[in-house]
Amino acid sequence: MTQRRAMLFLGLVVALVVGAITFAMGIAREADRAWGVYLVNFLFWMAISQAGAVFLGILYVTGAKWAQPLKRIAARTTAFLPLSLFLFLPLYLGRENIFPWVTNPIAEKAVWLNFPFLFVRDGVSLVILTGASFLVVFSRRGRSPLFSSIFLLLYTLVYSVIGFDLVMSLAPHWYSTLFGAYFFMSSLYLGLAALAIVSALTRKYPKPEGGIGTAQFHDLGKLLFAFCILTGDFLWSQFAVIWYGNIPEETEYIILRTMEMPWAPVAWGVLIGTFVVPFLVLLSRGVKENPRSLLVVASVILIGMWLERYLLVVPSLLHQETLPLGWMELFITLGFFGAFVMTYLMFERIEGYLPRETEGVR
């Protein structure tokens, strides 16, 4: 291990430790806030990791060749998935702080919203999806169009359930039949933005990726542009139906997050970061072809999507006049970042087991 790599790992370990300590201190002082930001980051980083396998599955189903140099990077991002299974377990300890229906059961929804059932179904679903993801990454049979098609269907099902259970159930009186589709689609959008960032960075460090050129960045930029429009369409479709329906149990959820303080500015940040900026900037071919400019746009999307997860989760848990966004959120997020990057870099040790098709174009 080179000195630079050793210093990088040391920094990541420090970030992880600081995040863990901050989370422990947060539970002791502001438990609802600490568990809220924990759930936000769990959903955020797990989605990035899962999107790597989904991206590979899409390539195998469509038979696309343009992204051959990106396959190894997508495969590396899945290294966080086993750790995400472990990070799912603490949610059981924080169930009373996260899920309001644990202490205040809703009789008409008790069959679905009871914690033993929720914890088991989500845990089993994530285990199955993680296993299928690694078959796509490591197994030659997993790369077949048939298996990849089944895997993609499994992804949409599991992430719809995760969206319903770990996000929508935080406001148990609100419901949206579109939310499951929005959640798995926006999670893939988030993952593509992360893929663009890592692809741009790894051209220089920590290991050059041969074959990633202007054409790959241009195509990846077009994908980001397409998912920007698609995610924006899902948001608008959901908002429009709730607006003209004007049903109190639906409108309350939207009004709280878009029109009331302190959440309204965050909603504007989400709209600008996930739709307005990428839509306008990615109209340019030059921006899509340039790794530096694409890196900047993808970073804006990533920040906007973190705020989106924050806006979906935290207002359901905290009811206060000031925005709960400070050092606790920063350090816990930094801890998750450290864990994600460490697993990504450690994946290089087992890359010899990857199918040859995940390597760059030869």
**Residue 208 in this model has a pLDDT that exceeds 50:** no
Q: How is residue 236 written in tokens?
A: 């608008």
Average pLDDT over residues 148-175: 92
The larger pLDDT score, comparing residue 350 to residue 160, is at: 160
Q: Tokens in use for 183?
A: 């959640």
Asked if residue 222 is part of any domain, the answer here is yes
pLDDT band at 354 (very low <50, low <70, confident <90, very high): low
pLDDT at 205: 45
| Tokens read off for 64 | 């696309």
Which residues 6+ apart lie within 8 Å of 256 measured at CB? Answer: 263, 315
On whether the CB atoms of residues 104 and 111 are closer than 8 A, the answer is no
Total number of domains constituting the chain:
1
Residue 33 counted as domain residue: yes
**Looking at the domain assignment, is residue 181 inside a domain?**
yes
- Output the average pLDDT for the chain: 87
Domain span at residue 326 reads 29-358
Could you tell me what percent of the chain has a pLDDT over 70? 93
Examine the pLDDT at 301 and tell me if it is beyond 90.
yes
Q: Kindly give the interhelix angle for 81-88 and 115-138, rounded to the nearest 10 degrees.
A: 170
pLDDT at 52 over 90: yes
In tens, the pLDDT along 1-15 reads 577 777 888 888 999
User: What's residue 250's pLDDT?
Assistant: 74
Q: Are the C-beta atoms of 19 and 338 separated by less than 8 Å?
A: yes
Residue 5 within any structural domain of the chain? no
Residue range 211-231, pLDDT digits in tens: 677 888 888 999 999 999 998
Cis peptide before 262 (omega within 30 of 0): yes
What are the residues whose beta carbons fall under 8 Å from the beta carbon of 60, sequence distance 6 or more? 136, 143, 144, 145, 148
pLDDT at residue 196 in the model: 92
- Taking phi over 0 as left and psi of -120 to 50 as alpha, with beta for the rest, 337 belongs to alpha
Rounded Cα gap, residues 176 and 250, in angstroms: 8
pLDDT > 90 in the chain, percent: 52
What pLDDT score does 362 carry? 31
**What is the structure's pLDDT at 44?**
97
Give yes or no for a contact between 43 and 167, defined as CB atoms under 8 angstroms apart: yes
Q: Does 3 map to a domain? A: no
pLDDT surpasses 60 at 334: yes
More confident call, 85 vs 237: 85
pLDDT of residue 204: 52
Q: Output the pLDDT for position 359.
A: 43
| Under 8 Å between Cβ of 29 and 181 | no
- pLDDT tens readout for residues 225-264: 999 999 888 888 887 888 777 777 778 888 888 888 898 9
Question: 80 CB contacts (<8 Å, ≥6 apart)?
Answer: 45, 46, 48, 49, 339, 340, 343, 344
pLDDT of amino acid 355: 52
Q: Do 332 and 41 form a contact (C-beta atoms < 8 A)? A: yes
108-141 pLDDT per residue, tens = 888 888 888 999 999 999 999 999 999 998 888 8
Alpha carbons 45 and 40: distance in angstroms, whole number? 9
H or E element, residue 328: helix 327-346
pLDDT at site 1: 54
Biggest CA pair distance of the chain: 61
pLDDT at 69: 82
**Is residue 108 within 8 Å of residue 325, measured between CB atoms?**
no
Average confidence (pLDDT) over 299-307? 95
Respond yes or no on whether the N-terminal peptide bond of residue 90 is cis (omega within 30° of 0): no
The reported pLDDT for the residue numbered 358 is 44
The radius of gyration of the chain's CA atoms, rounded to the nearest angstrom, is 20
pLDDT at 361: 35
> Residue 14 falls within a domain, yes or no?
no
Instruction: State the pLDDT confidence band at 19, using cuts at 50, 70 and 90.
Output: very high
Residue 356 has pLDDT above 80, yes or no: no
More confident position, 293 or 353: 293
- Higher pLDDT: 311 or 258? It is 311
> How many Cα atoms within 13 Å fall on the side-chain side of residue 264?
5
User: For the segment 274-287, what is each residue's pLDDT rounded down to a tens digit?
Assistant: 999 999 999 988 88
206 pLDDT above the threshold of 60: no
Q: Is 8 contained in some domain?
A: no
Instruction: Tell whether 15 is covered by a domain.
Output: no
Which residue do the tokens 């996930």 mark?
274
What sign for the dihedral angle of Cα 47, 48, 50, 51? Answer: positive
Residue pair 35/94 in contact (Cβ under 8 Å)? The answer is: yes
Lowest mean per-residue pLDDT among 103-107, 132-136, 293-297: 103-107
pTM for the structure as a whole: 0.90
- Is residue 51 within 8 Å of residue 198, measured between CB atoms? no
